[in-house]
Structure 1
Amino acid sequence: MDELNDELATAAWRKATKSASNDGNCIEVAPLSGGRVGIRDTEAPEKAPFVVSTGVWDAFIDGAKKGEFDF
């Protein structure tokens, strides 16, 4: 677990370029070792991020593009 925490602390976090029009309410993602992706709240980077497999991340992105999460 310490290795993951070290990796998360130095990860290359990024957010969508379109998030600027959303008052900063967005998430940041970072590629991690072992085929994982870190996900955190931009407004609370001190909180523990979610860590998912790239397969889970890819499925989420695919669903978002298809409108599966639209209200």
Structure 2
Amino acid sequence: MLDCLTPELYDVYVVCATAKELWDALDKKYATEDAGSKKFLVAKFLKFKMEDNKPVVSQVEELQIIVHEIL
């Protein structure tokens, strides 16, 4: 598995003794980042407000993009 990593990641994760340990470390790192981005998108969705000075169609498109990214 280590051979599939970029040189930068290899240097960080070469200390992992087993494939499971490596997998768990990578999963923890990237699953946490994904959860953080989902939280950001949900917060963006909850704070979304329609504005009178913008066209309705563009605002609906913006909202659809946010929903699509969450899904």
TM-score using structure 1 length: 0.29
The structure in which a higher percent of residues are strand is 1
The structure in which a higher percent of residues are helix is 2
**Highest Rg: 1 or 2?**
2
Q: Which has the higher contact order (CA 8 A, sep 6+)?
A: 2
